[in-house]
Structure formats: structure tokens, C-alpha cells
């Protein structure tokens, strides 16, 4: 299975990928004392749902007030956390909770102020629809989840837009990741088969602002995108195999950046909780020792 969030997790930290997505993830499910660390993730999930619901309501002629957005964010977070967990955090960390909801509200407000959203809300873009992210397509043995969030038509061009609430800076693969949406769209019966009829857009929230990236597909790029996805899935499978039947995490690489650890929900279950650099040194010595033992036993 491939999705943008799986790819991000794999690139940011192989250990986190394994804990979050491998079949043995049940073993590392969040325990209650880790709730606070996953609040940001839950808020993002809640914000995404709110964005889609608000867009659908707009389509049906229902506009939300600022107060409504705030309330919906709060309610959404309660649902994501379940009431008991929510009340617990509210008692202990009410200020943090309020800050989280306010910053999600600012994020939604600034999303509604981006050019694309303004054109949709003002009906300058008339033909648009929200897409279902759960819809996937199968390419050989891989199930690929890469639908756009919004698809809109301007003149004879179909625009595929993905909205990333936790965006990362543009890198060498950003364009090919985006092209996966075109491969998805061409498998959709309601969208055209002609590659040149598409334009790919991403809106990424980075450093407090929404960054718009735009790409034009070609057959060559679509092919390269497929190859990138296959390479990712191979790397994902190899990583899971590396754990072996005992699900040994000791040799699964850790992140290369402390900033990933700072926002990681699995930190309390990871040697990096006491410092990434030190745990990497320890991991290298474990790896060195196991190679040495294998060598000496020959």
C-alpha cells in the first residue's frame, strides 16, 4: 500500500514508519499517557474533516460563521480524542488545548484566503467537487491512495488539488508525488484519459503560510511517478522484513532530525526520547556488535 503520509513517515523516520504502519503496529499502540503527544495529529485530522464539511456546506448554500468554525474544531477534536480523554486533557492542559484550537482556526481562515479557495467560494470557479481520499487504485500488486482533495475545471483543464496541513518544503520528488494524482484521476471513470488535460496543484501549510505549488504532467513524468511509488513500496517492505519474526526494532534506523522526534507520537516508546544523537550512537554500536558476533561465529 502507498500513500503520501506513508511516504512522508518513511522518509522522516523509518522507525516511526514501522510503528505506525506495519502490520505489527498493535504492539505499539498509543498508551494513555501518550495522549498529549498525539494531540497535534488529532487536530490536523479534525481540521481536514472540517475543511471538507465546510466546502460541502458551501456547495449547498450554507455558510459558516467564524464562531461556527471554532465550535466545529472543538467538537471535532473531542470526537477524535473521545470525551474522556478530552476532559482529562482539558483539566490538566486547558491553555494548551485552547492554543491548539486557535491555531487550527487560523490555519483554516488562511486556507479560505488562498487564491484557489477565494475563487471557489466566490463562484469564479464553478465546476468543482470534493474527492474521497479513501478511493484508491491498484497498480499491479500495490494499492495506491493518492486522490486529490478537490478537483476543479477551468475551461478545458482539470485541476487536481491536494491540501497538506502538515506540509514539507519542496524537494526533488515533490513533482512526482503530485503526478500520482494524475495516475489516480486517469483511472476514474468521470475524469479524462488525456494527460495534458490535467494540472496538478498542492497547497502546503509550511511555517505559518499556505504555499501553492503547480505542476504540468507528461507521460514521462507519470511513468517516473509510478517508478518512485514502486521504489517506496520496496523500501517499506524491506524495512518491515528487517525486523524479523520477533519484531526487533533495535536495527530499524532512527530519524535524522531532532525536529521529527519533537513532534513524534511514538517518542515515549523510542530510545530517542532521551536524545536522538546518543540513541543513534547506541544503535550503531548494537549493529556493530551483531555484525561482529556473526563474523566471529563463522
Q: Is residue 62 within a helix (H) or strand (E), and if so which, with residue range?
A: none
Q: Is residue 55 a contact point for ligand SF4 (CB under 6 A)?
A: no
Count of residues engaged in binding ligand SF4, rule: CB under 6 A: 12
Q: Is residue 266 a contact point for ligand SF4 (CB under 6 A)?
A: yes
> Dihedrals φ, ψ of 139, to 5°?
-115, 100
Task: Considering the complex, state which of residue 19 and residue 179 has its C-beta at the smaller distance from ligand SF4.
Answer: 19
Q: Is residue 131 a contact point for ligand SF4 (CB under 6 A)?
A: no
- Contact assessment for residue 161 and residue 116, using Cβ atoms and an 8 Å cutoff: yes
Q: Is residue 159 a contact point for ligand SF4 (CB under 6 A)?
A: no
**Candidate list 38, 46, 195, 260; residue touching ligand SF4; CB under 6 A:** 260
DSSP string, 123-160: TSS-EEEE--TT--EEETTEEEE---SEEEEETTEEEE
Q: Is residue 195 a contact point for ligand SF4 (CB under 6 A)?
A: no
Task: Strand 157-164: give its sheet, edge to edge.
Answer: 127-130, 150-154, 157-164, 198-206, 209-215
Task: Considering the complex, state which of residue 133 and residue 280 has its C-beta at the smaller distance from ligand SF4.
Answer: 280
CA atoms of 224 and 10, how far apart (whole Å)? 19
Q: Is residue 9 a contact point for ligand SF4 (CB under 6 A)?
A: no
Q: How many CB atoms lie within 10 A of CB 15?
A: 24
CA atoms of 68 and 109, how far apart (whole Å)? 12
Q: Is residue 16 a contact point for ligand SF4 (CB under 6 A)?
A: yes
Provide the pairing of β-strand 157-164 with 150-154. antiparallel
Provide the pairing of β-strand 127-130 with 209-215. unpaired
**Candidate list 10, 13, 150, 179; residue touching ligand SF4; CB under 6 A:** 13
Task: Considering the complex, state which of residue 13 and residue 81 has its C-beta at the smaller distance from ligand SF4.
Answer: 13
Q: Is residue 283 a contact point for ligand SF4 (CB under 6 A)?
A: no
Minimum Å gap between C-beta 270 and ligand SF4 is: 3
Closest among 163, 149, 130 to 56, alpha carbons compared: 130
**Candidate list 27, 261, 286, 298; residue touching ligand SF4; CB under 6 A:** 261
Q: Is residue 47 a contact point for ligand SF4 (CB under 6 A)?
A: no
Minimum Å gap between C-beta 213 and ligand SF4 is: 25
Judged by CB under 6 A, the stretch of 8-16, 64-72, 169-177, 225-233 that binds ligand SF4 is: 8-16
Task: Considering the complex, state which of residue 47 and residue 265 has its C-beta at the smaller distance from ligand SF4.
Answer: 265
CA atoms of 15 and 23, how far apart (whole Å)? 14
CA atoms of 267 and 53, how far apart (whole Å)? 32
CA atoms of 77 and 57, how far apart (whole Å)? 20
Judged by CB under 6 A, the stretch of 9-17, 80-88, 136-144, 187-195 that binds ligand SF4 is: 9-17
| Residue whose C-alpha cell reads 468554525 in the numeric block | 69
Task: Considering the complex, state which of residue 16 and residue 147 has its C-beta at the smaller distance from ligand SF4.
Answer: 16
The residues in 228-257 that bind ligand SF4, with binding defined as CB under 6 A, are 254-255
Q: Would you tell me which residues interact with ligand SF4 (CB under 6 A)?
A: 13, 15-16, 254-255, 260-261, 264, 266-267, 270, 272
Amino acid at each position: 500500500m502507498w500513500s503520501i503520509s506513508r511516504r512522508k513517515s518513511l522518509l522522516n523516520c523509518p522507525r516511526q514508519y514501522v510503528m505506525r504502519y506495519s502490520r505489527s503496529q498493535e504492539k505499539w499502540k498509543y498508551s494513555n499517557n501518550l495522549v498529549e503527544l498525539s494531540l497535534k495529529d488529532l487536530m490536523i485530522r479534525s481540521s481536514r474533516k472540517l475543511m471538507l464539511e465546510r466546502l460541502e456546506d458551501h456547495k449547498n448554500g450554507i455558510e459558516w460563521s467564524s464562531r461556527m468554525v471554532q465550535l466545529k474544531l472543538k467538537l471535532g477534536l473531542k470526537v477524535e480524542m473521545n470525551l474522556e480523554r478530552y476532559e482529562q486533557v482539558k483539566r490538566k492542559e486547558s491553555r494548551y488545548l485552547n492554543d491548539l484550537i486557535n491555531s487550527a482556526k487560523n490555519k483554516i481562515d488562511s486556507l479560505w484566503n488562498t487564491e484557489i479557495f477565494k475563487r471557489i467560494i466566490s463562484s469564479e470557479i464553478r465546476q468543482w467537487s470534493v474527492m474521497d481520499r479513501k478511493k484508491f487504485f491498484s497498480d499491479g500488486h500495490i494499492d495506491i491512495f493518492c486522490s486529490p482533495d478537490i478537483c476543479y475545471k477551468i475551461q478545458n483543464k482539470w485541476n487536481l488539488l491536494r491540501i497538506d496541513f502538515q506540509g514539507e518544503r519542496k524537494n526533488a520528488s515533490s513533482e512526482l508525488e503530485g503526478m500520482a494524482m494524475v495516475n489516480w484521476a486517469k483511472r476514474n471513470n468521470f475524469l479524462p484519459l488525456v494527460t495534458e488535460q490535467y494540472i496538478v496543484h498542492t497547497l502546503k501549510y509550511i511555517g505559518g503560510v499556505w504555499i501553492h505549488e503547480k505542476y504540468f504532467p507528461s507521460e514521462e513524468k507519470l511513468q517516473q511517478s509510478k517508478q518512485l511509488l514502486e521504489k517506496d513500496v520496496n523500501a517499506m517492505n524491506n524495512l518491515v522484513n528487517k525486523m524479523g519474526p520477533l519484531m526487533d526494532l533495535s536495527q530499524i534506523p532512527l530519524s535524522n532530525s531532532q525536529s521529527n522526534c519533537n513532534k513524534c507520537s511514538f517518542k515515549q516508546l523510542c530510545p530517542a526520547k532521551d536524545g536522538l544523537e546518543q540513541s543513534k550512537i547506541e544503535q550503531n554500536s548494537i549493529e556493530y556488535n551483531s555484525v561482529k558476533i556473526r563474523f566471529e561465529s563463522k
